[in-house]
Structure 1
Amino acid sequence: MSERLVVIGADAAGMSAASQARRLQGPDELEIVAFERGRFTSYSACGIPYWVGGDVDSRDALIARTPEEHRERSIDLRMRTEVTEIDVPGRRVRARDLESGEEYWTAYDKLVIATGALPVRPELPGIDAPGVHGVQTLEDGEALLDTLRHTRGERAVVVGAGYIGVEMAEALANRGYRVTVVNRGAQPMATLDPDMGALVGEAMTGLGMEMVNDAEVTKILTGEDGRVRAVATDDAEYAADVVILGIGVRPNTGLARNAGLPLGEHGGLLTDLAMRVRDPRAEGAIWAGGDCVEVLDLVSGRERHIALGTHANKHGQIIGSGVGGDYGTFPGVVGTAVSKVCDLEIARTGLREKDAQAAGLQYVTATIESTSRAGYFPGAALMTVKMLAERRTGRLLGVQIVGREGAAKRVDVAAVALTAGLTVTQLTTLDLGYAPPFSPVWDPVLVAARKAVTAVRRAG
C-alpha cells in the first residue's frame, strides 16, 4: 500500500521536494498531491525586476517547470487551490478550490509546508489604489507590466530601498521613468552597514534617481479618477504615475500558526537540520522549507529569516530525500546576497556591525578601495570592500562589497571562508586565480583581509 505525500505550495521548495521524492520513489510507492493557490509553478521570483525592466524577454522565461510538466511525472498538482487548515493530530489538510469554492479534506502520511513569504504591505490610506504594486509573484509582475503599458506616465516612486526596491528602481529607470526612492532608513540597503549603504545611495543619485532617506510614507494620494497621483511623507509629496512597494517580505506562516506549529523570533517555522518541523505531534512526518522557515546563521549562531531561491531549492532537495527514504541536512547559512543597480554591483555575506554587536562579539573593521583588474588593464573598475573580524581571534565575521563590473561575485570567496570558519590571516594565504584581465596581483578581498589582520594586531 502506497503512502501519500501532501505538498502545500508549488514553487521552489515545494516542487523541488516533490520532484526529488518522485525520483526516489515511484507512483506505486508514493502518491504525491500538491496544492498551489496561484496560476504558476516553479518560477524565479528573483527574475521579476529584470522581466519588468526588459532584460528578460517574457514571463515564460522565468518558469522552470509548468504544471503540465509536473503532472507528467505523476504528481497530482492542483492549481488555484488554497489549503486553509492543517489538522496535525488527524494528519489531513483542508483545501478550497478558488474557482468553484468547493472545500474538501485530504489525508496525508507525510506533509511538506512550502508556503513562502508575503510582501510587507503597510496599512496606509490609498495603499490599494490602482497603480500601486507589489512584485512578489508572476501575477504581480503581469499586473505591473499591464499598468506600465496602459499608463501615460513618466514618474515612478519606489517605497523601500532594500533588494527589491533598488532592483525595481533600476527596472523603472530602464523603462524611461523618472524614479524617486523613498526610504525610511538613513541610507539605502539596510543589509549593509551605513557607510557602505551610503556608497549605494551616492551611485543611485549619480544615475539620476532621487533618493529620499529618513522618510516614512504616511499615505498614498489619489486623483479624481481614483488612481495613484503621489506618495506623501510627513514633510513632502512625491508625484507618481506608478508606485512600487519594495519594503520586504515576512514568512507566510498563518496556516502553520493556526495549526500550533512552532514559530521562531522572526515568524518562520522552526525545523531541525533535516528540515523536519520541531513539533512532537508531527512524529517526524511534517517538513518545511523555503521562505516560510527560519535557518541557522553559522556565524552568529542565531536563527534568521532569509528569503532566497537558492536556499529554497536546497531545502526542497533535502526534504525530498527525507520523504523518499534517503537522508540529507541543511546546516545553515552565512547570509550571502548580491544585487545590482544599473552598473553598480552590491554584495554582502556574514555579519554587519550591528549584527556582531547583537551577538555580543567584539570586532574590528577594515575598508579598502581596489580595482577589479590590474590597474593598468583596460576596463579596471573601482570597488570598495569592507571586512569584519573578531577582535581576539581574527575569525572572519563578514564582508561587504560595492563596486562596478567584477565586484559582486568576489563575495563568494568570503562566503566559503565564513563557512569554513577561517581567520583573516588564513584568508590572506588563499591561492586565488590571478591574471591582469581578472584581478590585481592582490585580489581586493585579500587586500581587505591584510588590512583586517593589521587591525586585529593593533587591537591586541
Structure 2
Amino acid sequence: MNMNAARERLVVIGGDAAGMSAASQARRTKGPGELEIVAFERGHFASYSACGIPYWVGGDVGERDELIARTPEEHRARDIDLRMRTEVTEIDVAGGRVRARDVDSGAESWTSYDKLVIATGARPIRPDMPGVDAPGVHGVQTLDDGQALIDSLTRTRGRRAVVVGAGYIGVEMAEALINRGYEVTVVNRGSEPMATLDPDMGRLVHEAMEGLGITMVNDAEVTKLLTGEDGRVRAVATQDAEYPADVVVLGIGVRPETTLARAAGLPLGAHGGLLTDLAMRVRGHENIWAGGDCVEVLDLVSGQERHIALGTHANKHGQIIGTNVGGGYATFPGVVGTAVSKVCDLEIARTGLREKDARRAGLQFEAVTIESTSRAGYYPDSSPMTVKMLAERRTGRLLGVQIVGREGAGKRVDIAAVALTARMTVDQMTALDLGYAPPFSPVWDPVLVAARKASRAVQQGF
C-alpha cells in the first residue's frame, strides 16, 4: 500500500512571519506522511524580525543574524521544503498550482497545491517621481533592504541623510541615522510627525526629534530626487527647497503586496489587502488562506476593515492558518490598532481611534488630554507623561488612547488595548485595580487620570 497516496501538499508563498508560522504550526499538527509543505521565499532570509531592522541599522542590535528567529536549514530539518531565492510569479487558482522562478538562474517551474497560504507581506511605498530608483535611495521592509542600506551607508563618504516621511519607519530610521553620526533631515507632508497620532500629540514627537538634532520639515511634499553626474542621489527637492542628501530613506509607509493575488482574481479590500474570513481563509476560496501584512483586518472599535503591518498580527495569523490547514479550528477576531515606538528615550504609543478615525466612522466623542508623571512625583527619575483619551459621547465607551512620555509610558497603552477589546466605558476604567507603588506610578495611574477626566466630560455632555 502506498502510504503517500493520500498525502496533501501545502504551498506557502512568503518565508517570513506569517508564512513560516503557518508552515511550522501545520507541521506540528500533521507529520510529513500526511502533509507535504513547500514554501517559497524570494529573498536571502526567512523568519526574521523586520521590526528590528531600524535598531540593527542604528547599532542597537549588533549583528544581522540576531534578527533571524529560525534559519532555512532549521525549517528544512522539520520537513518543510523551504526554497530560498525563489519568487512565485503566478497563482493558477483554477489549476491549483503556482509558477515559481529561481531568482539567480531564471529557471521556472510549476508546483501544484492542495492548500495554499499567501503571505507576501507589504512593500515600501515608492512615489512615482524622478530619481526614486537612483543608487542611494532605500526602502526598508525586508532584511535584504536593511543589508542594502547598511552597505550603502558604509560606502557613502558624505554624512547627510534625508528621510522622506515621518511615520513609524521614518521616525525610527531618523534616530538610527543620527546614531550612525549622520546629519538628518526628515521631510514630512503632514503637519506633524507620526500621523498615527492626532497632531497635538505629534507635536510632542516633533519637539523631541528636534531635541536630538534632527531637522524636521513639515507640510512639505517631495517632488523629485536629484542625482549627480555619477547617477547617485544628491538631494531631495520639494516645491520650495532642496535638501542635500548622500543617502535617502523612504519612510512613507507600506502597501499590501498583493500583485499576485490581484492577477489571480482574489478578493481585495479598499486598502488593497486580501480579504479573509475569521479563520484567515480568503473569502470565496475553500483551500486558500492569507495572513500578515498582505491582508486587511477588522478594526474592533470602528467596525471597518484596516491595513496594519505589524509582526504581532502576522505571527498570530500564521498560527491560526497553520491550525486550520492542519485540520484544527482557530479564528482571528480583529485588532484595536495598538502600536508603540520611540525616539531616543521618548516613548510613543497609541491604540484605538484618532479623532479623524472616529469622525470617519460617524462617531461622536469627547477628547481629553492630561499631564501626569511616570512615577510618584517625589520618587527619583519621575518624568512627565501626556495621555490623550477619546470616549464615545452618551455611552462613554472608550474609543482610543495616545500616550507620549519617557520611561514607562509606552507599554501603559496595553491597559487601554485590553479595555478597548473588552468594550469598557471610561467610567468602568476608573475602577481598574492596577498595580501601584511609587517607583512605578502615582497613586492614580496616568491612564486612570485620563479616564476620570473623560468620564466627567461624557457626563457633562449629556
Q: Same fold (TM over 0.5)?
A: yes
Q: CA deviation at 1:224?
A: 2.2
Report the AA paired with residue 440 of structure 2: F
Alignment counterpart, residue 297 of structure 1, candidates 296, 299, 324: 299
SS at match of 2:292: coil
1:210 aligned residue: 215
Q: CA deviation at 1:32?
A: 0.3
1:308 aligned residue: 310
1:103 aligns with 2:108: yes
Give the alignment of 1:74-89 within 5 angstroms: 74-89=79-94
SS at match of 1:20: helix
1:202 and 1:239 mapped to 2: Cα distance?
Answer: 23
Q: Per-residue CA shift, 1:392-412, capped at 9, x if unaligned?
A: 100000000011111000000
Q: CA deviation at 1:129?
A: 1.6
1:150 and 1:333 mapped to 2: Cα distance?
Answer: 42
2:90 and 2:245 mapped to 1: Cα distance?
Answer: 40
TM-score, scaled relative to structure 2: 0.98
Q: Per-residue CA shift, 1:66-114, capped at 9, x if unaligned?
A: 1100000001111111111111121111111112211111111111000
2:168 aligned residue: 163
1:356 aligned residue: 358
SS at match of 1:398: strand
1:254 aligns with 2:259: yes
Q: CA deviation at 1:130?
A: 1.5
Report the AA paired with residue 413 of structure 1: I
2:336 aligned residue: 334
Alignment counterpart, residue 114 of structure 1, candidates 115, 119, 124: 119
2:278 aligned residue: 273
Q: Per-residue CA shift, 1:376-425, capped at 9, x if unaligned?
A: 10110111000000001000000000111110000000000000000000
1:153 aligned residue: 158
1:392 aligned residue: 394
SS at match of 1:400: strand
Q: CA deviation at 1:30?
A: 0.3
Alignment counterpart, residue 378 of structure 1, candidates 380, 389, 393: 380
Give the alignment of 1:56-71 within 5 angstroms: 56-71=61-76
2:383 and 2:319 mapped to 1: Cα distance?
Answer: 38
2:9 aligned residue: 4
Report the AA paired with residue 123 of structure 2: L
Which piece of structure 1 moves more, 430-439 or 145-154? Answer: 145-154
1:194 aligns with 2:199: yes
SS at match of 2:293: coil
Q: Per-residue CA shift, 1:126-167, capped at 9, x if unaligned?
A: 112221111111111111111111212221110000000000
1:319 aligns with 2:321: yes
1:438 aligns with 2:440: yes
Q: Per-residue CA shift, 1:242-288, capped at 9, x if unaligned?
A: 11100000000010011111000100000000000002xx2x11100
Report the AA paired with residue 98 of structure 1: V
SS at match of 1:260: coil
1:265 and 1:355 mapped to 2: Cα distance?
Answer: 15
1:426 aligned residue: 428
Alignment counterpart, residue 48 of structure 1, candidates 53, 60, 65: 53
Number of residue-to-residue matches in the alignment: 457
2:450 and 2:205 mapped to 1: Cα distance?
Answer: 19
Report the AA paired with residue 49 of structure 1: P
Q: CA deviation at 1:123?
A: 1.4
Unpaired segments ≥5 residues, structure 2: 1-5
1:238 aligns with 2:243: yes
Report the AA paired with residue 59 of structure 1: R
SS at match of 1:446: helix
1:345 aligns with 2:364: no
TM-score, scaled relative to structure 1: 0.99
SS at match of 1:348: strand
2:149 aligned residue: 144
1:125 and 1:285 mapped to 2: Cα distance?
Answer: 42
Unpaired segments ≥5 residues, structure 1: none
1:89 and 1:220 mapped to 2: Cα distance?
Answer: 43
2:134 and 2:106 mapped to 1: Cα distance?
Answer: 27
1:407 aligned residue: 409
SS at match of 1:291: helix
2:204 and 2:39 mapped to 1: Cα distance?
Answer: 45
1:159 and 1:98 mapped to 2: Cα distance?
Answer: 30
2:417 and 2:459 mapped to 1: Cα distance?
Answer: 23
* RMSD of aligned Cα (Å): 0.7
**Percent identity, aligned pairs only?**
82
2:139 aligned residue: 134
Q: CA deviation at 1:225?
A: 2.2
1:367 aligned residue: 369
Q: Per-residue CA shift, 1:37-73, capped at 9, x if unaligned?
A: 1110000011000000000001000000011000000
Report the AA paired with residue 60 of structure 1: D
